[in-house]
Amino acid sequence: MSRAFILLLDSFGLGAAPDAEDFGDAGANTFGHIAQWAHDSGQPMQLPNLERLGIAAAAHQACGEWAAGFAL
């Protein structure tokens, strides 16, 4: 029997929604902020499996910029 895995990353946002300001969430980008903090601390975030699945590219598409330590 085949298996499937579901990875739920609740509150691990890749960028703010167009109406984020209406809810006090302008500039929301949990992934980007954690990546920046890790990069600034000298220990870049390493998510090899999620990177292979395209998390950095998805964040780039959502925000228009690459998260610190991530680029093609």
One pLDDT digit (tens) per residue for the chain, 72 residues:
899 988 888 888 888 888 989 999 888 899 999 999 999 999 988 999 999 999 999 999 988 889 998 876
Which amino acid does the sequence have at 15?
G
Query: The pTM is what?
Result: 0.78
Distance, CA of 45 to CA of 57 (rounded, Å): 15
- pLDDT score, position 5: 87
Closest by CA to 67, choosing from 49, 45, 43, 42, is 45
